[in-house]
Structure 1
Amino acid sequence: MQGKGSVFFRFSFVLSGRSAVWWVLAFFLLFAVPGWSREVLPLSGDWQLSFTPDKKEDTVVLPGTMDEWGKGNANTNRSETKHLSRLVTFEGEARYRKEVLIPESFKDKRVFLHLERTKYTSVFVDGHEAGTCNLLQTPHRYDLTGFLTPGVHTITVVVDNRKSHYPGGVGNSHALVEHTQTNWNGILGEIFLEARPSALVESAMVFPRPEDDAVRVRLRLRNYGEARPARIELQAVPGSAEASRPAGMSRDLALKPGLNEVVLEYPMGKDSLLWSEFSPALYVMSCRLEAGGESDENKTAFGMRRFSTSGTHFCINGKKTFLRGKHDACVFPLTGYAPMDKEAWLKYLRKLSSYGINYVRFHSWTPPKAAFEAADELGMYLQPEIPYWGGVDGSNKELMDFYRREGAALIEAYSSHPSFVMFALGNELGGSGEAMRAIIDGYRGLNADVLYSFGSNNNLGRDGYQKGEDFLTTCRIGRDENRNFENHVRSSFSFADAEHGGILNGVYPSTRITYEKALAGCPVPVIGHETGQFQVYPDYREMEKYKGVLRPWNLQVFKERLEKAKMGDLVEAFHRASGEWAAQCYKADIELAIRTPGFGGFQMLDLQDFPGQGSALVGLLDAFMDSKGIMEGEEFSGFCHAVVPLALFDKFTWTNAEDLAFDVQVANYGADALHSSLLWKLADASGKVVKEGRAEVRAGQGELSPLSHVAVPLDGIDRPSMLTLTLRLEGESRENRYHLWVYPERKEEVKPVSCEVATRMDDAMLKRLSEGTAVLWFPDHRDVADMSVGGMATPDYWNFAMFKGISEGMNKPVSPGTLSLLMDPEHSLFKEFPTEGHTDWQWWSIVNNSRPFILDAAPEGLRPVIRMVDNVERNHRLGLVFELSVGKGRLLVCMADPAALLDKPEGRQFRAALICYADSEDFRPEFRCSPEELKRIFSQKAFSPDIIKVENATDYKDQAPK
């Protein structure tokens, strides 16, 4: 709590009528169990709300928020696209008032008010101020002993959600920002009064020592009376019938007035069960204090675990673990805040577990105790963070005090939970490393069992590892000194942050790339920061789900834009194509991390959509954690799991003159060493097995198995084919699958028979078209620069609007902004170039060497054979390949660069497929135009909408390389 003296307008809630008082008393009597040392008076239920002391009051129900009650200022802005929209908004003070009957049993007891989660609060009893508190992520506790005597009293809680009560960077965090959680006003979770004896257990923290079969218990005992003898009794109770109950222990001590800190060693016995992701065994430590004929008890959940590091690996109880993580930004669109009940968190974490996730990093916020309880039960590793996103300045006393106060409260409240294994100072911080180190040193004094980092992706990774960090969460290790991405530890970036958007879009596809060079010289485990970020076009059917406090007016704007662009009928196809391709990119990103020796893990952004910062719909799950129907957990966990079979090959495209050469290995981060058979199978599109085999694999716990080489002759494949390589460990149902492509070896380029190939639209070409010639035209990219967008194989990063502005501000190239190809695999063009309906790895070099043409000004009937899906900001009608009947002739336009296609099997085959199609009877374009109309289509400069920059909470300009 803070001292008094703040001057502000006050708001409040009230319960009217004596009947309500007696209802509260009756409810209390149900919970006041004889013999309990703590009597609890619940305060949930009706309260009175007002915004100034003399204004009319409304009845509301706590716990809850003003958004849920519809109180505040009506939001009429239907054009917001930066984030979801609140129906009502409010920032300021609200007064919550309730009359409470304090029972006689509270007499001579210490009486405390408990508010589990809220914003800055001031508490008044019968009009007298009792204190203030500005903790954001832990309960507000008020000692009201001198204010509450038996009888009727009025409690007023003033909640002020203005950001001015906190240092500037707090307002950017996901504890307050409108982009996800919203800056709600209210009180959440448990709200109660409790009566306790004058000698009490203020807190108990449990520090497991599994190597010693013991735990250390640190008690803070508060004695409000005179010095007196006391007795402490400890008893660990297992949460499973499989575990034996350790013997209890007791100690006599002399309590001095005020705070008494006591540390006790408690033996757990030789057969205590360990807690981990593999077996989350739980215990509860009961700490009972007896003094002066009274008793007080505290119960703390814990697990026998040691989460530590060994070189660049994380370890759980001495076994190496690989962190397969999800970033969490507090996206709960029905309420605008995180759930406060354990069941909701169990549902959430079980969904993540079904996708192979074992770790959650909370981006600049910390969840409530219910999240830790659920994670304890499921064996999930959690990394909460201080609610801060900005610069750290050691001379800023307000900020340093906030860090010490908020961090100490978080550690004391939650760090005994076995799931609380890591802690960071916030997101993408800049500033003083010395100040950060000082803060962390203070935290270690409170709990040295937790692993600490200065922050997640501080200075965008350019400063590398800092002495004093137990682990490093980053996108790169040090500054980029070349264009080879050698210091990167995630595969995708914005164009503002990395050439060509990083490894996945900038390096020819292969499954042999690793992060080993980046890790060299870093002495601690590295976690890839916010990996992925691949956009998926919206599924506008999701809008029907928004029945709570938030509305998807951003999605409505995007939907109307698409309809205005005359592509509304394609929305489901856009969603499916971009989603399928994004899923393959997530697979590539995750496998790159898993196959890197000595890598610590990743936290992807994201398995779930992020509806803020310009609406970054990057998930395979929507904002409600529901599947988008693109890739379910069973398939996803085939490459994201504790044990993953991997295939390593140099490329995805081959010719039938080669052997398909690859290596297989297993990443074994399971509980034990592995000795098994890895079964592999190569099948064609019809499911016919081309070749299959097995490899014996041995891998120590926490190791990558040695490589087993496989070579499959491809000379029996005489047609362009897509093959599927499937890997499975014997006895397991989970599979890992790869698509590969085989094309006929071509000694010479395919020559056109009846069609002509052109690179310029000139009078001669138009004349031949008019006379009936079939023409395959590869426009010169220089001629169409203003009528096309750039080529990019991977889906656009995060969202186009935000990084367009950032890139322009940094004088960096702007991302092409596209999401995926879209085509009909049954079209005749693909007889010689098999494909699915979306981009896959055989398209990588073709798309990266293309300029999809903007067909916005073309007649609506011109529908591309191969369409490029654009982002929601522009909604251009983009064509990679399209066809027209011009006069008597037929024109096939390909926006890929032919010269760039000839050094790769897929490029040569694609060019051959285009020629074969243009030469065939199937080439009969339905859209017709005159030569003059054709010239107009290719002479009109494309219109680009005015895209307003979306600000990131990080100032990228200040963090650009000097």
Structure 2
Amino acid sequence: MRFNNVYNSVWPNEGRSRRLTNGWTLAIGDQNLQVSVPFVWEDLGVDKRIEGPAKLDLTFDARPMPGRRYWLKFDGANYYLSTCLNGVELGSHEGIWDDFAFEITDAIKEHNVLEVEVIKNGGPTYPVPDVLSGFLPYVSTTFGGLWRDVWLIETGQAVIKDLFIRKNRKVEAQGDFDELIVETSEPTEWPNMRSIEVKALKNGEVGHIATYPLAVSDAKPKGARLSLNGKEFIFRGILHWGWTAKSAGPERDPKAFENKLLAIKASGYNGVKFCLWAPPNELFDVCDRLGMLVWMELPLWQIRIADEERVLQECARIVRRLRRHPSIVLWTLGCEMRDMPKGFLKRLYRLVRQMTGSRLIASNSGGAEAYHGRLDEPADFYDYHLYGDLHHQPQLFSSFGIGLRKPKPWLQGEFNDCEVYRSIGDAWWSSKDEAVNPVGIRWLHNAPYQNERIEAVGLSGLEEQMRQSSERQSRFMYQTAIQRIRSLPQLAGYVTTSIEDTPIAANGFLDDEGRPRLASACNQELALLLDTERAREWIAGGDRPIEVNPHTAFASSQRLIAIGASNGGADLLRGELTVEVIGAEDGNARKVKKVSIKPGVSHLTEMVVAWPNKEGVAQVLASFQSNDLSVSDQWLVSIFERDLPSDFALYDPESALGFLAHNAENSRTLVATRWDERIVRHLKEGGSALYVQSGATGLPADHLPFWRECFRLTPEGVSESVAIDDSNQGAYLDVSTDRAFIPDRCAQKLETKLSPILMRVDARTYALHYYVFEANVGKGCLIATTLALGNTPFGRSLLRKFVARIALR
């Protein structure tokens, strides 16, 4: 396979490189603007629907010297660029993410006129799915312009176009030279680095001096683990799609990016995944310097490949630009791909392996198994995107375990998106003006309508309550999902979604001020983990597992408290473990133990706790202390009484509430699991009913996630007798459901007004559903719920609460 245009760039020449920043004029549409490079024209108020062509002009002076060579280098332009200097056509280029250069030795003068034409992707000329657009257009918009620097570079007759030093210190260079002189220097282990000089000579004269970051960074699989320079590690990364609120273009400000990295690093992350974009080298320089691991993913997503060679060429140019950075430890060649041309991913995998020498490359982030790709896709590690709702995660993680398959590192390339309420304000993506905020190729376009939807469903004035409720739910989701995945012995790494909010979702780890909004203890190199006892029940002639919720318990019961650890580093840790349970039967239970924590997952200790005979909230506190490390975490346990009233009639054809004892078949209080004439007649005759709906039939309901992309809200004014306390979000694991009532359709069917008790608010569309509502139907009183009111502590508590409420009506 020959790549004729992979090396059509040029390495900066020390002391002989000049940025062409100021003095540009831009003509696009009916606008003529003065601009500085780099820029994207959408940030200047240009209609975002315009693809171009944009005309750029620059006059600049130079002092061309005989015997010297001159180059015009573009670090990045989107998408198509053609250019001429002093009337001489230099050529054209297609691509967003690679750099490129033209030799201008024969065209440059003392006074120069540079003309550039640019057409961006996203229009009819270069549709988003036809080129390597990445994911940014799907969360934001397309962008056009010279989004990275433009350089005038002077060299001698010798020139270096590309330079790469492999792990074995073999120097590979492309260009025009007779000899290379490489500075002798012993490399250090990354994150320690040093720069060396590489000189290119022709006819005995030095024509080009390049600097190269030299560091040993040898990342590879070690069985089912990851290893860097011989030391095992767990990749704890955060997802970055290239979005930044400061621009319609990709993140490109090194200082702003560094501030974000410092915030996530302080919160326990050791890596970042550049998902479906190729950042500027200056951002990689920050990662190199801070010791932040990088997972680099090429910008292939939902792409229509008409010309395999063109795509391979462009991917090769991106890899060429980035491969020198020692922070890159993982490569994926695209994301959630299906229906790819046969053999294409194998060719791309071999190309990246040959160009980088990396032994940690996966063809398809998300995996062929999950996204119906080709099962023979080459991959050095397992990579899944298991965005499971919280109550389905244990089974989901288990079903995608390694089992008897080939031992390779097992990673979650994306997971754990926790969405919250956020105020949109006057951001550009809140505009309804298509020129400012076009729908483009986005499948979600809700921000412009957020405030009016909130008003339409009656939530105006509850913004602060929505913020608090959604953040409380998200903090629990974040902690629980990470601790669950870190409890898996097979885990080699994970990536949480995402670094900051985007126009389509408020699931950022950092808020709009750059502050972490989620917990961090579970994400540190050493994380303490909570586990509990196992349980089963006999159903239909056989045993079935019961998922014991460690966050709830029955009063006067016992609980096994098991504490483990996930050591994401390479060192054996020795210190003192303290476990304390506040709110146990005899006050506080406490255990102190000397422990040694090996890399990976370890059991540390366990204790049996007796709970008091009254309701309340207990705390489990765990801490590890050594000479140079202190780690702690805590968990809430809600304690509920087991007793239930029995003076009600039970109508349970769905066999959902078989654990209930009842002794009043003719009671005016009915508990039912099927909506039919019996419950309707009972209500019309003045009876009271609790209706528990578990399936699709009954009252109108939608099939929806309980934890993801939403938050729960208790409306103001709900009677204390039925209000649901959500201070311990873990209690909701007892009653998590996949269905929620459609309010207007239920009201229409019941021919009455509904009073919500627990609502579901969609965090993206702000559509409103009810998990629990109360209504007067006929002469009777109804409480209806889709919550899974099973034989669990919180489930029984809600049953008791709801039955007591309707019994009084």
Q: TM-score, structure 1 length as denominator?
A: 0.70
**1:959 matched residue in structure 2:** none
Q: SS state of the match for residue 618, structure 1?
A: coil
Change beyond 3 A, Cα 1:763–1:205: closer
RMSD between superposed Cα atoms in Å: 3.9
**1:723 matched residue in structure 2:** 618
Which runs of 5 or more structure 2 residues have no equivalent in the other structure?
Answer: 6-11, 439-444, 533-547, 649-663, 673-677
**1:282 matches 2:177:** no
- Residues 45, 62 of structure 1: 8 Å contact kept: yes
C-alpha displacement of 1:156: 1.0
Q: 1:505 aligns with which of 391, 396, 402?
A: 391
Q: Identity of counterpart residues, as a percentage?
A: 17
Bigger shift: residues 515-524 or 280-289: 515-524
C-alpha displacement of 1:45: 0.7
- Aligned partners of 2:351 and 2:183: how far apart in 1? 28
Q: SS state of the match for residue 864, structure 1?
A: strand
Question: What are the superposed Cα offsets for residues 251-278 of structure 1, whole Å, 9 maximum, x if unpaired?
Answer: xxxxxxxxxxxxxxxx44xxx4x22xxx
- Aligned partners of 1:764 and 1:338: how far apart in 2? 61
**2:333 matched residue in structure 1:** 425
Q: SS state of the match for residue 596, structure 1?
A: coil
C-alpha displacement of 1:309: 0.8
**1:216 matches 2:170:** yes
Amino acid at match of 1:59: Q
**2:698 matched residue in structure 1:** 785
- Aligned partners of 2:140 and 2:103: how far apart in 1? 30
**1:683 matches 2:582:** yes
Amino acid at match of 2:581: L
**2:67 matched residue in structure 1:** 108
Q: 1:600 aligns with which of 489, 492, 498?
A: 492
- Aligned partners of 2:397 and 2:279: how far apart in 1? 36
**1:436 matches 2:337:** no
- Aligned partners of 1:116 and 1:544: how far apart in 2? 27
- Residues 821, 868 of structure 1: 8 Å contact kept: yes
C-alpha displacement of 1:515: 6.2
Amino acid at match of 1:63: P
- Residues 161, 185 of structure 1: 8 Å contact kept: yes
Q: 1:142 aligns with which of 102, 108, 116?
A: 102
**1:670 matches 2:569:** yes
Q: SS state of the match for residue 366, structure 1?
A: coil
Q: SS state of the match for residue 586, structure 1?
A: helix
**1:525 matched residue in structure 2:** 409
Change beyond 3 A, Cα 1:523–1:513: closer
**2:362 matched residue in structure 1:** 453
C-alpha displacement of 1:738: 2.1
**1:912 matches 2:800:** yes
Amino acid at match of 1:108: G
C-alpha displacement of 1:661: 0.5
**1:470 matches 2:470:** no
- Residues 410, 493 of structure 2: 8 Å contact kept: yes
- Aligned partners of 1:201 and 1:561: how far apart in 2? 58
**1:99 matched residue in structure 2:** 59
C-alpha displacement of 1:414: 1.8
- Aligned partners of 2:173 and 2:706: how far apart in 1? 58
Change beyond 3 A, Cα 1:60–1:288: same
C-alpha displacement of 1:100: 1.7
Count of residue correspondences? 745
- Aligned partners of 2:702 and 2:473: how far apart in 1? 19
Question: What are the superposed Cα offsets for residues 875-911 of structure 1, whole Å, 9 maximum, x if unpaired?
Answer: 2352514366998x8x4614247xx635223222221
- Residues 174, 180 of structure 1: 8 Å contact kept: no
- Aligned partners of 1:654 and 1:514: how far apart in 2? 25
Amino acid at match of 2:36: V
- Aligned partners of 2:304 and 2:696: how far apart in 1? 50
Q: SS state of the match for residue 285, structure 2?
A: helix
- Residues 637, 734 of structure 1: 8 Å contact kept: no
**2:293 matched residue in structure 1:** 381
**2:732 matched residue in structure 1:** 843
**1:415 matched residue in structure 2:** 323
Amino acid at match of 2:691: F
Q: SS state of the match for residue 706, structure 1?
A: strand
C-alpha displacement of 1:364: 1.8
**1:639 matches 2:522:** yes
Q: SS state of the match for residue 732, structure 2?
A: helix
- Residues 825, 836 of structure 1: 8 Å contact kept: no
Amino acid at match of 1:46: G
Q: SS state of the match for residue 865, structure 1?
A: strand
Q: 1:161 aligns with which of 120, 123, 132?
A: 120
**1:132 matched residue in structure 2:** 92
- Aligned partners of 1:779 and 1:593: how far apart in 2? 32
Question: What are the superposed Cα offsets for residues 146-178 of structure 1, whole Å, 9 maximum, x if unpaired?
Answer: 1113x2121112112145776974547336x53
**1:20 matched residue in structure 2:** none
- Aligned partners of 1:764 and 1:135: how far apart in 2? 69
C-alpha displacement of 1:827: 5.8
- Residues 477, 707 of structure 2: 8 Å contact kept: yes
- Aligned partners of 1:464 and 1:658: how far apart in 2? 51
- Aligned partners of 1:233 and 1:780: how far apart in 2? 74
Change beyond 3 A, Cα 1:514–1:402: closer
- Residues 608, 625 of structure 1: 8 Å contact kept: no
- Residues 180, 201 of structure 2: 8 Å contact kept: yes
Q: SS state of the match for residue 352, structure 1?
A: helix
Change beyond 3 A, Cα 1:112–1:669: same
Q: SS state of the match for residue 365, structure 2?
A: coil
- Aligned partners of 1:779 and 1:902: how far apart in 2? 10
Question: What are the superposed Cα offsets for residues 414-452 of structure 1, whole Å, 9 maximum, x if unpaired?
Answer: 211111222222122222462211222122222213622
**1:48 matched residue in structure 2:** 25
Q: SS state of the match for residue 682, structure 1?
A: strand
- Residues 181, 338 of structure 1: 8 Å contact kept: no
C-alpha displacement of 1:367: 0.7
Change beyond 3 A, Cα 1:546–1:873: closer
C-alpha displacement of 1:728: 1.8
- Residues 70, 152 of structure 2: 8 Å contact kept: yes
C-alpha displacement of 1:525: 1.4
C-alpha displacement of 1:69: 2.2
**1:234 matches 2:183:** yes
**1:698 matches 2:599:** no
**1:325 matches 2:237:** yes
**1:59 matched residue in structure 2:** 34
- Aligned partners of 1:522 and 1:408: how far apart in 2? 29
- Aligned partners of 1:908 and 1:550: how far apart in 2? 52
- Residues 199, 210 of structure 2: 8 Å contact kept: yes
Question: What are the superposed Cα offsets for residues 106-148 of structure 1, whole Å, 9 maximum, x if unpaired?
Answer: 4321101121111221110112211112232122211111111
**1:626 matched residue in structure 2:** 514
Change beyond 3 A, Cα 1:218–1:790: closer
**1:581 matches 2:473:** yes
C-alpha displacement of 1:550: 6.3
**2:544 matched residue in structure 1:** none
**1:487 matched residue in structure 2:** none
- Residues 337, 371 of structure 2: 8 Å contact kept: no
- Residues 749, 908 of structure 1: 8 Å contact kept: no
C-alpha displacement of 1:572: 3.0
C-alpha displacement of 1:68: 2.2
Change beyond 3 A, Cα 1:208–1:794: same
- Residues 759, 768 of structure 2: 8 Å contact kept: no
C-alpha displacement of 1:557: 0.6
- Residues 536, 617 of structure 1: 8 Å contact kept: yes
- Aligned partners of 2:126 and 2:308: how far apart in 1? 8
- Residues 133, 299 of structure 2: 8 Å contact kept: yes
- Residues 771, 786 of structure 2: 8 Å contact kept: no
**2:609 matched residue in structure 1:** 712
